[in-house]
Amino acid sequence: MITMRTRVLRLCAAAALAGAAFGGVPAAQAEDGNWYIGATMPLMFIDDSKAISEGSFTLPDPRTGQPATTDYRAQVETSHDTGFKLGGMLGYEFGDGLRVEGELFFARADVSTLTHSSITVPALSLTLQDEVAIPVTGSGEQLGAMVNVWYDIETDDAWTPFIGGGLGLIRIDQSDLKYDTGAVAGAVATHLKLLGAQQAALAMGLPPPQEVDPVQLPPGLVPSISSADTALAWQIGMGVGYALSETATLQFGYRLQALNGLNFRGSNAMASVNAETDLRIHFLEIGIRQRF
């Protein structure tokens, strides 16, 4: 079976061989500076993200029969499949190894799992022991703009290492995701139903039940959260360029990108939900730059 790592290594090897076929030339740094354009095609690996989700809903309390508002809090872990990114940049080489560029990119990755754990009802000092794994389909998308600063380490051959980083804004769009928005509220309601059944059984001198039928919440009781948010992002990276000619450079690199403070929320007359999370993303990239 061909693994993703094997595919990446083959892609890099093929690109290097292509560069050799063009005939590498010693990397030259222009004394007066030059503009350049470029493109990158990285593979994207998103770390499992952890979020705090808080919500409330109003239903008849199965223990009393009276309407009650129940607040809950949960830890959420989301995992993604390997994704892709398409980026383009316009930059300027100052001639002393320093480069500054503007970058625009689009990225996408499918969401593979969505799991809620440590679900608590603070007012009742109640914690659900079981995780709630919610089936999910669809992908999350990114649209970003970054300003990057890179430093090329001059060598005497065609290979030129570089390091640097950047700052920018990234918009996350999860409108393609499909999942049961009421799954966590349903788990809480079911647990409250179980507590009510246990109390009733004990009052009648009967053995308390260990499980009850799941509560089926009315469709639309728990609202969908907002599908998009924009956050400040930073990235750091390193790589190596291979001079195909006096003006064209093939580059291979790694970047670590981070977004903090993403917030998604929703509310209606019966319920509300709010989720906050951060993202850490890794890119293995291949690209090309062309001076003009």
Question: In the chain, what percentage of residues exceed pLDDT 90?
Answer: 57
Q: What is the pLDDT of residue 12?
A: 45
Is the pLDDT reported for residue 209 higher than 90? yes
In 3D space, the residue among 144, 141, 114, 119 whose CA is nearest the CA of residue 130 turns out to be 119
Q: Which helix (H) or strand (E) holds 142?
A: strand 139-152
Does 79 map to a domain? Answer: yes
Q: What are phi and psi of 8, to 5 degrees?
A: -65, -45
* pLDDT band at 65; cut points 50, 70, 90: low
Does 15 map to a domain? Answer: no
Q: What is the pLDDT of residue 16?
A: 42
Q: What is the pLDDT of residue 122?
A: 81
Say if CB 281 and CB 260 are below 8 A apart: no
Does 212 map to a domain? Answer: yes
Q: What are phi and psi of 210, to 5 degrees?
A: -100, -10
Q: Which residue has the higher pLDDT, 291 or 196?
A: 291
> What's the domain count of the chain?
1
Does 18 map to a domain? Answer: no
Question: In the chain, what percentage of residues exceed pLDDT 70?
Answer: 86
Condensed to tens digits (0 to 9), the pLDDT of residues 236-290 reads: 999 999 999 999 999 999 999 999 999 998 888 777 888 899 999 999 999 999 9
Say if CB 127 and CB 119 are below 8 A apart: yes
Does 282 map to a domain? Answer: yes
Q: Which residue has the higher pLDDT, 62 or 15?
A: 62
State whether residue 28 is helix, strand or coil. Answer: coil
Which range, 165-174, 211-220, 265-274, is most confident? 165-174
Across the chain, what does the average pLDDT equal?
Answer: 86
The mean pLDDT of 19-38, rounded to a whole number, is 63
Does 129 map to a domain? Answer: yes
Q: What is the pLDDT of residue 63?
A: 58
* pLDDT band at 142; cut points 50, 70, 90: very high
Condensed to tens digits (0 to 9), the pLDDT of residues 174-203 reads: 999 999 888 888 888 888 888 888 888 999
The mean pLDDT of 209-219, rounded to a whole number, is 85
What is the extent of the structural domain holding 43? 35-153+162-241+250-291
Does 7 map to a domain? Answer: no
Q: Residue count of the chain, please give it.
A: 292
Q: DSSP class of residue 210?
A: S
The mean pLDDT of 135-149, rounded to a whole number, is 96
In 3D space, the residue among 38, 35, 6, 12 whose CA is nearest the CA of residue 249 turns out to be 38
The mean pLDDT of 209-232, rounded to a whole number, is 86
The mean pLDDT of 151-156, rounded to a whole number, is 93
Is the pLDDT reported for residue 26 higher than 60? no
Q: What is the pLDDT of residue 260?
A: 93
**Tokens standing for 71?**
């607040």
Is the pLDDT reported for residue 69 higher than 70? yes
Please write down the HEC assignment for all residues of 45-64.
EECCEEEEEEEEEEEECCCC
Mean pLDDT check: name the lowest of 43-47, 121-125, 164-168, 169-173: 121-125
Q: What are phi and psi of 103, to 5 degrees?
A: -130, 135
Does 12 map to a domain? Answer: no
* Distance (Å, whole) CA 277 – CA 78: 10
